[in-house]
Amino acid sequence: MKHSITLPILTAAALFVSTAHAYDADWKRGRVYYRSVCTSCHVASPIGQINPSGRTKAEWTAYLNADKHAKGKDGVKQYVSKAYRASIKSGNKAAEKFADVPDQELFDDIKSFLLRSAKDGESPASCS
């Protein structure tokens, strides 16, 4: 009898703990960062602006999972890190605004925006 009561309670507790720490990415915050930080840098580089709708969701996912930027010279996550944001915050309001956001949360926000705005996403978008 004691085991039949304990199992449902433990199961419920495990579900609560696993969902309590889940982060629901904020695509709007990702859009602000992407447009203010990523796009501003790319416009100044020889590559030029990169629109989110230029790739499919699968292509963006593969790119982000590979974590290779600048033809593999560095990682995408480097440009989302607190250290990077601190290094550019004097000249970039979004980097300053999101200075204390955890790296993984901001990365998830950007990913959410890119997938939503991809060629086959919910709302294909450009950076204009």
Q: How many domains does the chain have?
A: 1
What is the spatial distance between Cα 90 and Cα 38, in angstroms, rounded to a whole number? 16
What pLDDT digit, counting tens, does each position of 27-40 carry? 999 999 999 998 88
Residues 6+ apart with CB under 8 A from 68: 74, 75, 76
Q: Identify whether 96 is part of a domain.
A: yes
Residues 6+ apart with CB under 8 A from 13: none
What pLDDT digit, counting tens, does each position of 65-112 carry? 999 988 888 899 999 999 999 999 999 999 999 999 999 999 999 999
Q: What is residue 70's predicted lDDT score, i.e. its pLDDT?
A: 81
What is the spatial distance between Cα 87 and Cα 76, in angstroms, rounded to a whole number? 16
Q: Identify whether 128 is part of a domain.
A: no
Q: Identify whether 45 is part of a domain.
A: yes
Domain, as residue range, for 56: 26-117
Q: Identify whether 19 is part of a domain.
A: no
Q: What is residue 66's predicted lDDT score, i.e. its pLDDT?
A: 94
What is the spatial distance between Cα 99 and Cα 89, in angstroms, rounded to a whole number? 8
Quick one: CA dihedral 52, 56, 57, 60, positive or negative? negative
Q: What is residue 127's predicted lDDT score, i.e. its pLDDT?
A: 53
- Spatial contact of 55 and 119, defined as CB atoms under 8 Å apart: yes
